[in-house]
Structures are given as C-alpha cells and as structure tokens.
Amino acid sequence: MIEKFDPLKGEMLRILHPDGRLEESLRPDLSDGTIQGLYRDMVILRVMDQRALGFQRQGRMGTYPPVSGQEAAQAGSSYALGKDDWVFPSFRETGVLYLRGVPLKDVFLYWMGSEEGQKVPPDVKVFPVAVPVGTHPLHAVGAAWAAKLQGEKICTIAYFGDGATSEGDFHEAMNFAGVFQTPTIFFCQNNQYAISVPRKKQTASKTIAQKAIAYGFPGVQVDGNDPLAVYAATKDARERALSGLGPTFIEAVTYRFGPHTTADDPTKYREDAELEEWKKLDPLLRMQRYLGGQGLWNEGVENKFKAEAEAIVSQAFQEAESAPPPEPEAIFKSTFAELTPTLKEQMDDYLAFLKDKES
Ligand SMILES: Cc1ncc(C[n+]2csc(CCOP(=O)(O)OP(=O)(O)O)c2C)c(N)n1
Ligand SMILES: [Mg+2]
C-alpha cells in the first residue's frame, strides 16, 4: 500500500483527517474498540510527559526530552509491531518504550540518571536508549541481518529524528540494508527541528522519505499526527520485511510541542504562530473527533482516561523515586559485560578519589 504514495510527487499517506473524518477505503484492520484503546494510550503518554516536565522542574528528575505532539507517531507505530520484533530507540521514544513493555518506573529511573532503568525485562525486545544521534540504525540493520540469516520471522525498527538523517552512520545503515535486503524499518520522526536547526537547514531534499529511493527501497511520507496512517504504514513495512522484501523507510511528519529537552528554550528559535498552527493538528484532538462521532468519546471518557493515566504515572514515579540511588561504579559497569582494563583503571581511580574526599 505504501508504494502508492510517491514522496517525489509530494504524496503523503493520511487516513484520519484533522477534523476526525476517516478515509474508509484506507481504514486499517483495527476495531473502534482498539482505536479507543490506542487513544487511551496516547492520553497516558501526554499525561506522562506533562508530569515528567513537572518532576524535572521540581529537581526530582534529570534532563528529559518531551514527546508531546508525537504521540501518534509513537503509539501508531508501536501498535503495528509484533511481540518479537526488536526496537532500537533514540532518546525521544519514551512512548514507544512504554508501549513495548518497558516499565514506566524504569523509563523514569533512566532519566533520573540510573542505568538500572536500561535493564529491560527479558521478554521485552527493546535496545538501550541511544543518545548519540543516528548511531543505532546500524545496530538495527545488523540485528535484522542476523535474524534473516537465522531464519527468524521478525523485523527490527530504528527510531530516529530528522536531524539524525544528516549523520554518516544513518547513510551507512540505509546502504547496507538496501544491499543485504535486511528486514528493517527505518522510522524517522520528522518533528521539524534538531534542537534549534530547522528541517530546511537539515537537507535540501524535498522530503526525507525520498532518500530511501537512492538506496533501492521504498520510502513513504505519512501524516505523523495521524495514528492510523502511522499504524498502516508500519504494518505494511513489517509485512514487507517478514515476506523477504527488505527494508522500508517511513517519514512521520510531526511536530514537538515542547522544548527539545528540559534544558532548551524553543522561543529562541521558533515563532509562537508556528506552534499554534501545529497545535491545530494535535493528534489527540483528531482522535477525540473521530471517537466522538462513534459514541466512544466524551468529556466523561476523557476524565476517566486522564484519571487512569495520572494513577499509572504517579505509581511509576513513586517506585522510581524510592529505588536506591545508583552506586558510583555503575557509570563504568553499564557498557560491557566485563570491565575493560582502561575502564577498570578509571573506576579504581574515581573510587579512590571519592574515598579521599570523604576522609
Ligand atoms: C552524535 C551526536 N551529535 C550531537 C548530539 C547533540 N544532540 C542531541 S539531540 C540533537 C538533535 C537531534 O535532532 P533529531 O535527530 O531531529 O531528533 P529530535 O531531537 O528532534 O527528536 C543533537 C544535535 C548528540 N547527542 N550526538
Ligand atoms: Mg527532530
């Protein structure tokens, strides 16, 4: 289905319009009940994000990268994955982590500075958060290649931003995936900015999706604020991957409502008017409009979902806050299974320094 939308012609996949109208001919195989569940999850992500900002401002959590505005991209794609598919996230995929089964407590722990938060339960197929921009698509391609060689019926998905597409690693990953036909989904959340650098200064390409064409596989632009379009494109990409057709590139066109991280002030580089225009395309609003028309959303439903979300977030944060603070040596011990001689030397040196300071 995605091949019907040519990024070179500016064609973008959209199924749920901002006014809540559904493109029936493109409707994915989701019941209205499931769509309501998807909306409920998006509310949890919105509430989680708002609370996380508050916790950071109260000094109870470290730097945090918000996801508000990108809930459709994260929830829509998560819903389309299989249980055994591997996710390779960047730092802004809090919503994906949660929906793929990483306990919210661990997500918070990570942003509190504890590597314990990166230790996912054994049945959760999520790699650690990659803060170095654009490095992990290579890992996703490598893992997909391994799965292909071993005959495993899974795909891998790498999440990254528009800015990451300027990194060399990204292009190496795309090239390798195209040549070796790896079952990989490249999922780009184009939120229009890489910190303060706008999309138009990132690439001279008309779309980011069209970059896939040069590497010999399909790329599709989807309305990233439309969870149904994101779901349908990801599901299609997954089916292609599992049937041996190789990689797919998805550009989810979206916008981050908040700052890049809690350390950023977006008013320095973007106009309020731009933000207001994008707020009209808020992914939660169009879901409310659609579900409202089906009798599955009203103020009562909204309040119920919000209260449930508050309870989930409060409990997770309480658990994270009551976990013991990380040992100083955790910073050295969290990368390799066994310490390298250089890391061991650095760790011993640091522990001796701390001991000296105490005495
Ligand atoms: C290799 C590398 N260079 C620079 C940075 C600093 N940095 C962190 S996030 C970011 C921008 C990323 O933008 P984008 O890929 O669009 O993702 P977004 O933050 O918008 O989700 C930069 C430059 C980094 N973390 N890693
Ligand atoms: Mg970006």
Residue 161, strand partner residues:
189
Element (H, E) at 32: helix 32-57
- Give the integer Cα–Cα distance in Å for 108 and 41: 17
- How much is the pTM? 0.97
Give the pLDDT of residue 332.
Answer: 94
Q: In tens digits, what is the pLDDT along the chain, a chain of 359 residues?
A: 899 999 999 999 999 999 999 999 999 999 999 999 999 999 999 999 999 999 999 999 999 999 999 999 999 999 999 999 999 999 999 999 999 999 999 999 999 999 999 999 999 999 999 999 999 999 999 999 999 999 999 999 999 999 999 999 999 999 999 999 999 999 999 999 999 999 999 999 999 999 999 999 999 999 999 999 999 999 999 999 999 999 999 999 999 999 999 999 999 999 999 999 999 999 999 999 999 999 999 999 999 999 999 999 999 999 999 999 889 999 899 889 999 999 999 999 999 999 999 88
Q: Which of 238, 256, 286, 290 is catalytic?
A: 256
Which residues, other chains included, contact 301 with Cβ-Cβ below 8 Å and sequence gap of 6+? 291
Give the pLDDT of residue 335.
Answer: 85
**Is 231 designated active site?**
no
Element (H, E) at 193: strand 193-194
Phi, psi (rounded to 5 degrees) for 330: -60, -35
Give the pLDDT of residue 150.
Answer: 98
Ligand 1 binding pocket includes 235 (Cβ within 6 Å): no
* Residue 166 Cα to ligand 2 middle (Å): 11
* Residue 191 Cα to ligand 2 middle (Å): 5
**Is 269 designated active site?**
yes
* Residue 195 Cα to ligand 1 middle (Å): 7
Which residues, other chains included, contact 35 with Cβ-Cβ below 8 Å and sequence gap of 6+? 228, 287, 290, 291, 296
Give the pLDDT of residue 290.
Answer: 98
Give the pLDDT of residue 359.
Answer: 85
- Give the integer Cα–Cα distance in Å for 54 and 48: 10
**Is 27 designated active site?**
no
